[in-house]
Amino acid sequence: MKKIILLLFLGLTFNFGIAQEDSSTLPKPNYRAAAKFSPTNLGKLVHSTSVRPHWLKNGNRFWYQYKTTEGSKYYIVDADNRSKKELFDNEKMAQWLTEITKDPYDAKHLPRFNFKFVKNETAIRFYVTSTEKVEEVKEEEKDTKETETDSTKTKKKKKGKPKMVNKVYHFEYKLGSNSLTVLDNKKKEKEDWKRWANIAPDSSIVLFSKHYNLYWMDKENFLKAVKNEKDTTIVENQWTTDGEENYGYGGRSWGENNETKIKDKDKRKYVGGIWSHDSKKFVFQRQDSRHIGDLWVINTTSGKRPTLETYKYHMPGEDDFYKTELHVFDMPSKSSIQVKLDTVKQQSVQVYRAPRKKSSYDDDFSPSLLLSKKGKIYFNTISRDRKKLDICVADINTGEVKVLIEERFNTYIESRPLVLFNNETEMLHWAERSGWAHYYLYDTDGNLKNQVTKGSYHVERAIGVDEKSRTLYFTAHGIPNDEDPYYEHLYKINLNGGGLKALNPGDYNTSSDMADSNRFFVNNYSRVNTVPKSELRNSAGNVVMQLEEADLSQLMAAGYKFPEPFKMKADDGITDIYGVIYRPFDMDSTKKYPLLEYVYPGPQTEAVNKSFSVRMDRLDRMAQVGFIVVTMGNRGGHPDRSKWYHNYGYGNLRDYGLADKRHVAEQLADKYNYIDIDKVGIYGHSGGGFMSTAAMLVYPDFFKAAVSSAGNHDNAIYNSWWSETHHGVEEEKDADGNVKYKYMIDNNQSLANNLKGKLMLITGDVDNNVHPGGTIRMANALIKANKRFDFMLMPGQRHGFGNMTEYSFWLRADHFSKHFLGVEASSVDITEMNRDKPKKK
């Protein structure tokens, strides 16, 4: 008996000793550190991190705004003359604004400007709203005042108290001058017309949708509508009469509910389409979705009574599919023809558009234009199973169609915009037919001339073509063998395939913004562990001038430390997996930290930062609570590598990336002894919500806790584009030749019995992207399996959680703190959210 008691005592002591040792090496949750780097607080610490050029039309010039801890400055750069100067003197601008508006300004605290360049780009105009109150004068009152006589003025009496509004100043500043001119005190006109008007390139005619039909008005009537949409003298002209809901000419009601649908039924709505360059033709893609099933969300917080949203939503494997037609409307004759497509065949259609000029981005309107200027409509069709892509051309006058290029593959085919050049005699086609993405040179009859780029690297996109030198400018990944293959660089190459040259080389991820002339580009570059910098380079790759270096002084003073990129092996022991590790800024290497993986499986992307970013809420901030946080790729992830890597998960869309997530975590724990491999958690949103729950169920003894938000747990009710593309759908023909579609995919709820760890599910109740039904089905399966789990519904929230994003962060922090750090938040208030908010009296 004494021996048994002694053994029990020793056993209890032994167990107690482990608990004590675990407690002493466990970090304490540091909510204050996580709160310190909230999005709101980061906005006070970090300002501009890249140069966004606004290219001008005259010369290779652009202006940009850059903000540091010293305030915002505005610069104008003339690349041709290698000059950079301030758009205006901040000190003088502050003085002028103060003197004119009587509101105090200083050089560091100017109002937010929205410039419009005028007078052949020698002057800028902008609006400033002052604190001075003036009586509001409506447009109709202005017209009356201009026509009334002295006798009528005396008869008029003011009715009621006049409405007071803030006085508005409309300014003009001539570049380089020493004064500021007040043009008028009229407030900027509302641009409600942008909601519905599709304006022809020459402004002669405006198209819009009404009651699902196509309407038009001339310029004179459109200008009336710009001034007053309710003007009863506006003449509208109805063009089509056969439009109806879900088979109309524009006027889609995505996001409308049963109340707004009725309220807005008579309003003008937008009709999307593409114009010919001469403004005489308009190409409209009409889609018949009347036979597609409805889906619904109910918003219970929207108003007096809950509202219902009804929308068409095609789910994978359903036999019906969208039917697409291409219509060509002729402006002079007000007639139309239809492009000769096979509307019975289940396929998607995409019309190619002319690249938009960078110098037009700030224009009042910039209509979409056809790729061709010569009466041709270039477009592609892709089969329902995404394995057959045809590049086609149609005659804009007759609708006759010719197939130019065919692509066939056993997995899904992806595409990029077609590049047309050399007086429309040649074109560049992007394809992955070799297992890597490259450009191929064709003539416009569809004959292959040569492959332009080749090798074991991924071409991302064409930036421009210099026709005189026959040079292609493009972005690509993976050309340097000794560099992270996800880093993007700008290159040039001769169209015969020779002379490949990197224009912004270096061990950084870059973002390039090239002028319309292709002679200069702004190069923003950084890694996750470097300060972002910006420079101007020319088309030879030479640095013309340094532009900016991000001001991270306040961020670093607050204790920020860069994360660390890493490279490990996938579960096959061969494939390189790239990731980033985020640590607590006050990390104690003698402690044992739980490991959290932030995941997003793709396959259209991977949630691994490659450049410095201030979007820290899902990574850096979680680490500050008291965790090692990692994010990494997986086979079947990002398309910026080989097609083999990208398509690895084809046919196995639930489990394909999980083995890599587990294997890399084990390698990290072997390398860093402060990682506790017995406490591995996982979290993610959308596809990451799906993947994090799957990890808990496929590897229940490895992943111990998860927070899954807005997850597509049941892909049978997620949209067909994503599921059928990346997982696959099989075409089957019966004896009569009728095509059926077979779609089988594993879902998370089928593994509900496997749950061992601590799972939290979150969804928005009006998510019309990943329907809340996916999360509810997962919860239903867990309940039926008698499992304990946490569930949170975000009222009135779409897919991204909107103004409840911060709240969801603290739900995640609470969950992992409770189950990994042993500390449960017990206060009713989330004090970290309340601390910095002013209290209302």
Tokens of 728: 């696959």
| Each residue's pLDDT tens digit, 348-389 | 999 999 999 999 999 988 999 999 999 999 999 999 999 999
Segments in 470-611 forming alpha helices (H): 553-557
The C-alpha atoms of residue 805 and residue 464 are separated, in whole angstroms, by 39
Instruction: Identify the domain containing residue 88 by its residue range.
Output: 54-137+163-184
- Beta strands at 675-685 and 593-598: parallel, antiparallel or unpaired: parallel
384 φ/ψ angles, rounded to the nearest 5 degrees:
-55, -40
Name every residue whose Cβ is closer than 8 Å to that of residue 798 and which is 6 or more positions away in sequence: 764, 766, 767, 768, 769
Residue of 459, 543, 463 whose CA lies nearest to 497: 459
Pair (116, 211) in one structural domain: no
Which helix (H) or strand (E) segment holds residue 220: the answer is: helix 219-227
103 and 37 together in one domain: no
Q: Is the pLDDT reported for residue 3 higher than 90?
A: no
634 neighbors 656 (Cβ within 8 angstroms) = yes
The residue with tokens 């991000």 is 550
pLDDT for residue 839 is more than 50: yes
> Is the distance from CB of 379 to CB of 350 less than 8 angstroms?
yes
Residue 421 lies in a domain: no
Please give the structure tokens belonging to residue 288.
């018949």
How does pLDDT run across 478-530, given as a tens digit for each residue? 999 999 999 999 999 999 999 999 999 999 999 999 999 999 999 999 999 99
Is residue 527 packed enough to be buried (19+ CB in 10 Å), middle (13-18) or exposed (0-12)?
Answer: buried
Would you say 111 and 166 are in contact if contact means Cβ atoms under 8 Å apart? no
Predicted local distance difference test score (pLDDT) of residue 4: 44
pLDDT exceeds cutoff 60 at 150:
no
Q: Residue 6: its pLDDT value, please? A: 42
240 with 359, same domain: the answer is yes
The single-letter code of the amino acid at 257 is N
CB 25 within 8 A of CB 592: yes
Rg (CA), the chain: 30
Helical packing angle, 687-698 and 772-784, nearest 10°: 20
Within-domain flag for 742: no
Best CA proximity match to 347, nearest among 283, 403, 427, 418: 403
Q: Which of 111-115, 171-175, 576-580 has the lowest mean pLDDT?
A: 111-115
Structural domain includes residue 386: yes
Q: How many domains does the chain have?
A: 3
Task: Report how far Cα 710 is from the mean position of its chain's Cα atoms.
Answer: 17
Rounded Cα distance, 250 and 208, in Å: 8
Helix axes 687-698, 658-671, angle to 10 degrees: 70
Distance between CA atoms of residues 649 and 715, nearest Å: 14
> 743 in a domain, yes or no?
no
Looking at residue 315, which CATH number applies to its domain?
A: 2.140.10.30
Q: Which of 807, 509, 774, 514 is nearest to 654 (CA)?
A: 774
Whether 575 and 568 have beta carbons less than 8 Å apart is answered as no
What Å distances lie between residue 351 and 305, 339, 381, CA to CA? 42, 12, 9
Mean pLDDT value across the chain: 93
Task: Report, as an integer, the average pLDDT of 657-676.
Answer: 97
Mean pLDDT over 451-461 rounds to 98
| Confidence check: pLDDT of 196 > 50 | yes
Tokens of residue 484, six digits: 């992270």
> Residue 244 carries which DSSP code?
B
| Residue 706 and residue 695 in contact, taking contact as beta carbons nearer than 8 Å | yes
pLDDT at 735: 81
Q: Is the pLDDT of residue 457 over 50?
A: yes
DSSP assignments along 3-34, one per residue: HHHHHHHHHHHHHHHHHHHHHHHSPPP-HHHH
Helix, strand, or coil (residue 210): strand
Residues 650 and 761 in one domain: yes
Q: Residue 696 corresponds to which tokens in the numbers above?
A: 């808990």
* Separation CA 717–CA 748 (nearest Å): 12
Tell me: the pLDDT tens digits for 293-340? 999 999 999 888 999 999 999 999 999 999 999 999 999 999 999 999
| Largest distance between two CA atoms of the chain | 118
Instruction: Report residue 662: phi and psi, to 5°.
Output: -70, -45
With a cut of 60, say whether residue 14 has pLDDT above it. Answer: no
Give DSSP secondary structure letters for 570-600: -TTSSSEEEEEEE--TT--TTS-EEEEEE--
pLDDT confidence bin for 17, thresholds 50/70/90: very low
Q: Are residues 327 and 377 in the same domain?
A: yes
Q: What is the pLDDT of residue 841?
A: 62
How large is the average pLDDT for residues 707-722?
Answer: 94
Residues 582, 675, single domain; the answer is yes
Distance between CA 20 and CA 37 in Å, rounded? Answer: 32
| Position 158 confidence tier, pLDDT thresholds 50, 70, 90 | low
Q: Are 541 and 503 in contact (CB under 8 A)?
A: yes
CB 36, CB 46: distance < 8 Å: no
Give the position of tokens 């009469």.
Answer: 241
Residue 438 lies in a domain: no
472 within 8 A of 428, measured Cβ to Cβ: yes
Which pLDDT score is estimated for 23? 66
Q: Which two tokens stand for residue 233?
A: 């003298």
Distance from C-alpha of 63 to C-alpha of 45, rounded to nearest angstrom: 24
Indicate if the pLDDT at residue 159 is higher than 80: no
| 112 within domain boundaries | yes
Cα separation, 715 vs 748, in Å, equals: 9
pLDDT band at 189 (very low <50, low <70, confident <90, very high): confident
Please identify which residue in the block is written with the tokens 């699902």. Answer: 212
- ω before 306 within 30° of 0 (cis)? no
61 and 170 together in one domain: yes
Tokens of 693: 């729950």
pLDDT in tens, 415-444: 999 999 999 999 999 999 999 999 999 999
Q: How confident is the model at residue 7 (pLDDT cuts 50, 70, 90)?
A: very low
Q: How many CB atoms lie within 10 A of CB 397?
A: 12
Whether the CB-CB separation of 714 and 774 falls below 8 Å is answered with yes
Q: Name the least confident of 272-276, 361-365, 773-777.
A: 361-365
Any idea what the CATH number is for the domain that residue 644 is in? 3.40.50.1820
Q: At residue 609, does pLDDT exceed 60?
A: yes
Contact 519, 59 (CB under 8 A): no
Q: Is the torsion defined by CA of 679, 680, 684, 689 positive or negative?
A: negative
Both 97 and 233 in a single domain?
A: no
Which residues are CB-neighbours of 668 under 8 A, at least 6 positions away?
Answer: 566, 568, 581, 595, 628, 630, 675
Q: How does DSSP classify residue 375? A: S
Whether 278 and 409 map to the same domain: the answer is yes
- 703's enclosing H/E stretch is strand 703-709
Q: Which of 154, 184, 214 finishes a domain?
A: 184
Domain membership of residue 420 (yes or no) is no
How far is it, in rounded angstroms, from Cα 696 to Cα 682?
Answer: 8
Q: Are residues 306 and 348 in the same domain?
A: yes
Dist CA 208 CA 269 (whole Å): 6
- 787 occurs within a structural domain: yes
**For residue 254, is it left (φ>0), alpha (ψ between -120 and 50) or beta?**
beta
Give the number of other CB atoms < 10 A from CB of residue 461. Answer: 14
* 201 in the same domain as 178: no
Task: Based on the fold, state whether residues 298 and 253 are members of the same structural domain.
Answer: yes
Residue position matching structure tokens 């639930």:
654
Give the 3-state secondary structure of residue 837. Answer: coil
pLDDT band of residue 8 (cuts 50, 70, 90) is: very low
